Amino acid sequence: MANTKEQKAPKGGEKGSKGGDKGAPKAAVKPQGAQTVAKGYVPALQKKYKEEIMPKLIKEFGYTSNMQVPKLIKITVNQGVGSATGDKKLIEVAQNELGVITGQQAVQTVSKKDISNFKLRRGMPIGVKVTLRAAKMYEFLDRLISIALPRIRDFKGIAEKFDGRGNYTLGIKEQIIFPEIDIDKITKIFGMEMTFVTSTDKDEEAFALLREFGLPFRNIKK
């Protein structure tokens, strides 16, 4: 797989640039899906972290200061669109859909190398990406846990494999688990990867943090 770098989205957001291709496929999203965060608003999970999760982790790991308690720094959502090499319009569809799912404008990621076997040229868009922080991060996590994950068919929990540095990556096969996507209008099924970046470099502490947020790991010890 080619290395990627971010490319800023064109001005005009989800509507596209003036004079664009009128025949381009539209993203299968509901207009009300995009989120705005009111000034001073504190998401439920952010409040839960301060009032419930921090005291539990202090007791579990014996921290002597609140500054030692691990916290969630950001959630990065990546969506690869390999078929975009044959249909560039799919990038726009994925960009619009991911923006509505996360409530934040997605940016394109582009190839840094030429790979002839995959008909890939340097600078060609091959995916989209969103980095969530603060209130939008907590809001997305809340919707992921309480709404999206339970919609996965035969869902039995998520794996517990961390990266050895306190970060966790969750793979999702279909974007249609998010209610913001209108399943009757989708152009193509896209998978995505979500990386949860924490302030600790210890997997045990990161696991405890995400467990307390409510991520449904398969083998949580009761």
40-87: pLDDT as tens digits: 889 999 999 999 999 999 999 999 999 999 999 999 999 988 665 556
Residue 168, phi then psi, degrees to nearest 5: -130, 135
How do residues 174-184 score in pLDDT, each as one tens digit?
A: 999 999 999 88
**Per-residue confidence (pLDDT) for residue 33, from 0 to 100:** 41
Residues 6+ apart with CB under 8 A from 120: 2, 85, 111, 113, 114, 126
This prediction's pTM: 0.78
Considering the segment(s) 42-212 as one domain, its CATH architecture is 2-Layer Sandwich (3.30)
Is pLDDT at 38 greater than 80 in this prediction?
A: no
- Rounded-to-integer distance, Cα 77 and Cα 192, Å: 7
Determine whether 5 is exposed, middle or buried from the number of CB atoms within 10 Å of its CB (0-12, 13-18, 19+). exposed
**Per-residue confidence (pLDDT) for residue 175, from 0 to 100:** 93
- Rounded-to-integer distance, Cα 17 and Cα 161, Å: 41
Is pLDDT at 22 greater than 50 in this prediction?
A: no
For the chain, helix (H) and strand (E) counts, in that order, are 5, 6
Q: What is the mean pLDDT of residues 85-104?
A: 86
- Rounded-to-integer distance, Cα 164 and Cα 175, Å: 27
**Per-residue confidence (pLDDT) for residue 90, from 0 to 100:** 85
Is pLDDT at 124 greater than 90 in this prediction?
A: no
Is pLDDT at 30 greater than 50 in this prediction?
A: no
Domain ranges of the chain: 42-212
- Alpha carbon dihedral 38, 39, 44, 49, in 10-degree steps, equals 150
Mean pLDDT of the residues in the chain: 82
3-state secondary structure (DSSP) of residue 121: coil
- Rounded-to-integer distance, Cα 7 and Cα 107, Å: 6
